[in-house]
Structure 1
Amino acid sequence: MASKDRSLSQHSSVSPHGGLIATLQQSRLVISSSHTRQVLWTFPLPQDFVSRCRFLRWYRINDLASGATDARGNGQIEQPGRIILADDDTVRIYDTNDPTWHAVIENAASSLGRIAEVAFGHTADEVLVFSDFGVKLMIWSLITSRGVEIRDPKSLAKCYQHRPRTGHLALLTRPAAQDALMLLQPGSHELIRSVEMPTIDAQEVAWNPDGNWLAVRDTASSGYKILIYTADGHLYKTISSSGNDMDISLGVKCMRWSPSAATLAIGDNNGSITIFSKNNFSPIANLHHPATITLPKAGVWEEQVNALKERSYVAAPQPASPPASSSLSKANNPTPGISVIAFNSDGTLAATRNDFLPTTVWIWSLKTYTVMEVLIHHSPVKQITWHSSQFDLLLIHCAIPEPAVHLWKTTWHAPRILTLPLPRIDGRLEASWLESSSEENFDLMISSTHQYTIARISSDGEVIAEAVLPEAAAIPVEPGAEDMFDEGNSLDLSPIKISHSTVEVTGHEDGNDRSGSGLGFTEEMLDDTFHYRRHVKAVI
Structure 2
Amino acid sequence: MEVSRAVESSQHAVSSPSGIFVASLTPRYLLIYSSRTREMHLSFPLHAGDPKPSQITSIQWSSTSSYILLLSPQRILLFSVAEPDRRIKVDNGSAGFGILAWAEFVCVEGQDEQVVVGWEFGRVKAWDLGTGRGVEIGEVKTVTKGRTYEVRKGDGVRALALLSRPAAHDVLTLHLPPLYTPRLTTLPTTDAKSISWSSDGAWLAVVDTPLARPALHIYTADGNLFRTCNVAATSAMSGLDEDDDLGLSIKSIAWSPSTNFLAVGGFDSRITLLSTRTFAPVVVLEHTPAIDLTSITQGTVWQETVAASGARSYDPAPQPVSPPTSPDKDSTDPSKLGVAEMRFNCDGSLAATRDESMPSTIWIWDLLSLSPRTVIIQHAAVKSLCWHPSQASLLLIQCHGDDAVIYLWDARSEQGPQICSLPLGNGRVSAKWLSTARDCKPVILASTRTAWVLLYPAGRDLFPQPDPDELRVRRPVQEVAPDVDEDSLLDALMGKTPLRGMQDPMHSDGMDRTGEGLDDTFWGKKHAEVVSS
TM-score exceeds 0.5: yes
Residue in 1 that maps onto 2:65:
80
% identity of equivalent residues: 33
1:55-454 → structure 2 map (5 Å cutoff) = 55-60=58-63, 79-107=64-92, 111-123=96-108, 124-134=112-122, 136-155=123-142, 158-163=147-152, 164-165=154-155, 166-186=157-177, 188-222=178-212, 225-241=215-231, 244=234, 245-246=236-237, 249=245, 250-296=248-294, 297-326=298-327, 334-426=335-427, 428-436=428-436, 439=439, 441-454=441-454
Distance 1:138 1:270, change over 3 A: same
Distance 1:16 1:409, change over 3 A: same
Residue in 1 that maps onto 2:456:
456
Displacement, 1:377?
0.7
Q: Are the counterparts in 2 of residues 172 and 179 from structure 1 also a CA contact under 8 Å?
A: yes
Q: Unaligned regions of 5+ residues in structure 2, if any?
A: 1-9, 462-485, 498-508, 512-533
The one of the two structures with greater contact order (alpha-carbon pairs below 8 A, sep at least 6) is 2
Q: Name the SS of the counterpart of 1:453 in structure 2.
A: strand
Q: Are the counterparts in 2 of residues 30 and 42 from structure 1 also a CA contact under 8 Å?
A: yes
Q: Name the SS of the counterpart of 2:322 in structure 1.
A: coil
Distance 1:271 1:13, change over 3 A: same
Distance 1:285 1:517, change over 3 A: same
Quick one: which amino acid aligns to residue 163 of structure 2?
L
Displacement, 1:410?
2.0
Quick one: which amino acid aligns to residue 342 of structure 1?
R
Q: Name the SS of the counterpart of 1:389 in structure 2.
A: coil
Residue in 2 that maps onto 1:505:
none
Residue in 2 that maps onto 1:490:
none
Q: Are the counterparts in 1 of residues 343 and 385 from structure 2 also a CA contact under 8 Å?
A: yes
Q: Name the SS of the counterpart of 1:357 in structure 2.
A: coil
Displacement, 1:415?
2.3
Q: Name the SS of the counterpart of 1:446 in structure 2.
A: strand
Quick one: which amino acid aligns to residue 50 of structure 1?
P
Q: Are the counterparts in 1 of residues 251 and 338 from structure 2 also a CA contact under 8 Å?
A: yes
Q: Name the SS of the counterpart of 1:520 in structure 2.
A: helix
Quick one: which amino acid aligns to residue 409 of structure 1?
D
Quick one: which amino acid aligns to residue 149 of structure 2?
Y
Counterpart-to-counterpart distance in 1, 2:206 and 2:79: 33
Counterpart-to-counterpart distance in 2, 1:289 and 1:98: 51
Displacement, 1:420?
2.9
Displacement, 1:288?
0.6
Residue in 2 that maps onto 1:520:
491
Distance 1:263 1:402, change over 3 A: closer
Q: Are the counterparts in 1 of residues 254 and 262 from structure 2 also a CA contact under 8 Å?
A: yes
Q: Name the SS of the counterpart of 2:195 in structure 1.
A: strand
Distance 1:56 1:80, change over 3 A: closer
Deviations 1:102-156 (A, max 9, x none): 211111795311012222123422111111132x101111112111113331246
Quick one: which amino acid aligns to residue 43 of structure 2?
T
Distance 1:403 1:208, change over 3 A: same
Quick one: which amino acid aligns to residue 131 of structure 2?
T
1:477-496 → structure 2 map (5 Å cutoff) = none
Residue in 2 that maps onto 1:501:
none
- Superposition TM-score, scaled by structure 2 size: 0.77
Displacement, 1:524?
10
Displacement, 1:46?
3.5
Q: Name the SS of the counterpart of 2:70 in structure 1.
A: strand
Displacement, 1:243?
5.3
Alignment partner for residue 53 of structure 1, among 56, 60, 72? 56
Quick one: which amino acid aligns to residue 117 of structure 2?
V
Distance 1:378 1:46, change over 3 A: farther
Counterpart-to-counterpart distance in 2, 1:524 and 1:83: 27
- Superposition TM-score, scaled by structure 1 size: 0.76
Counterpart-to-counterpart distance in 2, 1:114 and 1:240: 38
Distance 1:436 1:237, change over 3 A: closer
Quick one: which amino acid aligns to residue 325 of structure 1?
S
Residue in 2 that maps onto 1:504:
none
Distance 1:241 1:131, change over 3 A: same
Counterpart-to-counterpart distance in 2, 1:449 and 1:522: 40
Q: Are the counterparts in 1 of residues 163 and 195 from structure 2 also a CA contact under 8 Å?
A: yes
Counterpart-to-counterpart distance in 2, 1:109 and 1:373: 54
Displacement, 1:211?
2.3
1:1-20 → structure 2 map (5 Å cutoff) = 10-20=11-21
Q: Name the SS of the counterpart of 1:220 in structure 2.
A: coil
Displacement, 1:518?
2.8
Q: Are the counterparts in 2 of residues 109 and 130 from structure 1 also a CA contact under 8 Å?
A: no
Displacement, 1:224?
5.4
Distance 1:36 1:415, change over 3 A: farther
Counterpart-to-counterpart distance in 2, 1:391 and 1:523: 27
Distance 1:206 1:30, change over 3 A: same
Q: Are the counterparts in 2 of residues 185 and 518 from structure 1 also a CA contact under 8 Å?
A: no
Distance 1:106 1:242, change over 3 A: closer
Distance 1:132 1:401, change over 3 A: same
Distance 1:376 1:525, change over 3 A: farther
Q: Are the counterparts in 2 of residues 424 and 451 from structure 1 also a CA contact under 8 Å?
A: no
Deviations 1:7-41 (A, max 9, x none): xx953212224322111122211111222111111
Displacement, 1:242?
6.5
Counterpart-to-counterpart distance in 2, 1:179 and 1:230: 17
Distance 1:147 1:286, change over 3 A: same
Distance 1:349 1:423, change over 3 A: closer
Q: Are the counterparts in 2 of residues 25 and 450 from structure 1 also a CA contact under 8 Å?
A: no
Distance 1:19 1:343, change over 3 A: same
Displacement, 1:437?
7.3
Displacement, 1:195?
1.2
Counterpart-to-counterpart distance in 2, 1:337 and 1:539: 44
Quick one: which amino acid aligns to residue 159 of structure 1?
T
Displacement, 1:439?
3.2
Q: Name the SS of the counterpart of 1:121 in structure 2.
A: strand
Counterpart-to-counterpart distance in 2, 1:237 and 1:57: 35
Q: Are the counterparts in 1 of residues 293 and 299 from structure 2 also a CA contact under 8 Å?
A: yes
Q: Are the counterparts in 2 of residues 232 and 516 from structure 1 also a CA contact under 8 Å?
A: no
Q: Unaligned regions of 5+ residues in structure 1, if any?
A: 1-8, 61-78, 459-463, 467-514, 527-537
Q: Which moved more, 1:443-452 or 1:214-223?
A: 214-223
Distance 1:446 1:432, change over 3 A: same
Q: Are the counterparts in 1 of residues 380 and 399 from structure 2 also a CA contact under 8 Å?
A: yes
Deviations 1:420-445 (A, max 9, x none): 3424433x211111245793632212
Q: How many residues were matched structurally?
A: 447
Deviations 1:470-515 (A, max 9, x none): xxxxxxxxxxxxxxxxxxxxxxxxxxxxxxxxxxxxxxxxxxxxx9
